[in-house]
């Protein structure tokens, strides 16, 4: 239906970034960026690419929900242009409409003109974070999220007994939280019960290949993934080893920064990126694999993120060039598979995580990997391009919209009559589980592959 544009021209971020401590408002300075400051504002050339044709409208989740121009991709680009001309301030309506964007990038897929909305959004969100004061409640809630999710140790602590959030919040936040029932409820209802054993289990630092060696893969174990979906990491390691890869999972690895990056917390994302690059440089791997769509998407962008930093630009590019989603890695081995697949008789519905399908344009690889399992019948989802509402931390920040999208996705999944749902992102799994709890098993695709190689029933599938 929609076009799948080829990757557009290379990014053109303004490289005038100096080493100034705190950026100031360009309008105050009399700069040329209107209401934006001069630190990587949305580039004029990227804004100009939009011809206002509207092809993005149907696949935009917020437009699908509300039908309002300001909450559509072309509407948001229009607002960015107005801000860029200094006609509207960042505070107020502008921030509201940019905050409501899920960052799912379905519009990038749909756009025939090749508008790089992903870059526009990533340039805009940090501007808001720098210049728009959040309400106290909003600020504290965001801080709480970012004080928790990127830290495995804290997540593990929080996971015990399911009283995840209560354990961490400072006493002073009680009053604030009382005012935020929907957000807090959203946060708590998303997190699944976790077996303590799994939450604390560790992936071995080195797992040798079985049989002739293809190479050395570094595995990002992730934060939420490792604590709440540890079996996915275990399955990933087993599949990679079975297919002839040495798997290196550096113990000292920390968060890749995706959650922060996608929320406009640029400085934090930059620091995390540098740390992770250094970690995997030491590991000396050929490929860096991830089984999380959101992480893969941000790690592939490290080159752009650190482009202005002479000490890191090259290292970041080298790192990004090695990053592969697990489905890409396994797909490449399908021509010459080492491990025999045992049949799994099941109708499988695959949900494209936005950060895999739209952001990384990886759609056929996971499908090929799944079809390579004998017995699997793959069915397609109606409205496949529409986000499930997870979108990083969106379902915690904008629970009402996320809820509407979650229910819509659940309805579409139910309609397929599939035996099992697979998707390659923990955020999607958590979100969809909330609306389909107990109705059908939900797995990461690699768990099906793993079960097929081992000749066992997939988890949750009895």
Which positions lie near other proteins, rule CB under 8 A? 1-6, 48-55, 57-58, 63, 66-70, 75, 78-79, 82, 88, 92-94, 97, 110-115
Shortest Cβ distance from residue 368 to other proteins (Å)? 15
**Is the Cβ of residue 113 or residue 254 nearer to other proteins in the bound state?**
113
DSSP string for 280-305: HHHHT-SEEEES-HHHHHHHTTHHHH
| Long-range residue pairs from 433-440, CB within 8 A, at least 24 positions apart, any chain | 433/192, 434/189, 434/190, 434/406, 435/406, 435/407, 435/409, 435/410, 436/410, 439/414, 440/413
**Is the Cβ of residue 5 or residue 337 nearer to other proteins in the bound state?**
5
Is residue 289 within 8 Å of 325, Cβ to Cβ? Answer: yes
**Is the Cβ of residue 52 or residue 171 nearer to other proteins in the bound state?**
52
Shortest Cβ distance from residue 414 to other proteins (Å)? 17
DSSP string for 395-427: HHHSHHHHHHHHHHHHHHHHHHT-SEEEES-HH
Shortest Cβ distance from residue 386 to other proteins (Å)? 13
Q: How far is CA 78 from CA 49, 231, 343, in A?
A: 12, 44, 51
> Helices 230-242 & 326-333, crossing angle to 10 degrees?
20
Shortest Cβ distance from residue 231 to other proteins (Å)? 36
Shortest Cβ distance from residue 226 to other proteins (Å)? 38
Shortest Cβ distance from residue 238 to other proteins (Å)? 35
**Is the Cβ of residue 51 or residue 334 nearer to other proteins in the bound state?**
51
Shortest Cβ distance from residue 46 to other proteins (Å)? 12
Look up tokens 């991830």; give the residue.
Answer: 290
**Is the Cβ of residue 92 or residue 455 nearer to other proteins in the bound state?**
92
Is residue 225 within 8 Å of 290, Cβ to Cβ? Answer: no
Contacts of 296 by beta carbon, 8 Å cutoff, 6+ apart? 290, 323, 324, 325, 355, 356, 360
**Is the Cβ of residue 35 or residue 291 nearer to other proteins in the bound state?**
35
Is residue 109 within 8 Å of 59, Cβ to Cβ? Answer: yes
**Is the Cβ of residue 51 or residue 163 nearer to other proteins in the bound state?**
51
């Amino acid at each position: 239906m929609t076009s799948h544009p080829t990757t557009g021209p290379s990014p053109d971020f303004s490289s005038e970034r100096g080493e100034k401590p705190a950026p100031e408002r360009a309008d105050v300075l009399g700069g040329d960026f209107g209401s934006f400051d001069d630190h990587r504002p949305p580039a004029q050339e990227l804004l100009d690419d939009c011809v206002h044709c509207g092809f993005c409208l149907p696949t935009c989740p917020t437009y699908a929900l509300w039908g309002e121009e300001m909450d559509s991709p072309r509407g948001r680009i229009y607002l960015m242009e107005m801000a860029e001309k200094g006609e509207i301030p960042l505070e107020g309506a502008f921030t509201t409409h940019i905050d409501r964007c899920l960052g799912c990038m379905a519009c990038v897929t749909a756009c025939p003109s090749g508008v790089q909305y992903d870059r526009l959004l990533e340039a805009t969100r940090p501007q808001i974070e720098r210049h728009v004061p959040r309400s106290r409640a909003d600020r504290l809630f965001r801080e709480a999220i970012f004080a928790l999710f990127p830290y495995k140790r804290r997540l593990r602590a929080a996971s015990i007994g399911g009283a995840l959030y209560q354990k961490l919040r400072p006493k002073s936040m009680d009053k604030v939280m009382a005012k935020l029932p929907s957000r807090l409820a959203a946060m708590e209802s998303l997190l699944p019960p976790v077996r303590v054993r799994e939450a604390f289990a560790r992936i071995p630092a080195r797992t040798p290949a079985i049989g002739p060696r293809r190479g050395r893969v570094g595995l990002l174990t992730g934060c939420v993934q490792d604590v709440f979906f540890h079996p996915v990491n275990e399955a990933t390691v087993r599949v990679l080893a079975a297919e002839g890869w040495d798997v290196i999972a550096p113990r000292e690895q920390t968060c890749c920064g995706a959650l922060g990056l996608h929320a406009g917390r640029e400085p934090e994302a930059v620091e995390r990126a540098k740390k992770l690059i250094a970690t995997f440089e030491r590991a000396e791997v050929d490929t860096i694999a991830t089984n999380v769509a959101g992480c893969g998407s941000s790690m592939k962008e490290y080159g752009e993120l650190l482009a202005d930093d002479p000490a890191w630009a090259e290292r970041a590019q080298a790192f990004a060039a090695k990053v592969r989603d697990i489905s890409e890695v396994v797909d490449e081995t399908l021509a010459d598979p080492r491990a025999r697949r045992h049949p799994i008789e099941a109708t499988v519905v695959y949900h494209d995580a936005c950060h895999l399908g739209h952001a990384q344009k990886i759609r056929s690889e996971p499908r090929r990997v799944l079809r390579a399992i004998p017995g699997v019948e793959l069915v397609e989802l109606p409205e496949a391009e529409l986000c499930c509402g997870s979108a990083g931390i969106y379902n915690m920040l904008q629970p009402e919209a996320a809820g509407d999208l979650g229910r819509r996705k659940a309805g579409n999944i139910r309609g397929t009559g599939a035996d099992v749902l697979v998707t390659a992102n923990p955020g999607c799994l958590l979100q969809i589980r909330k609306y389909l709890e107990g109705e059908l098993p939900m797995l990461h695709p690699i768990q099906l592959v793993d079960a097929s190689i081992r000749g066992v029933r997939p988890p949750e599938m009895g």
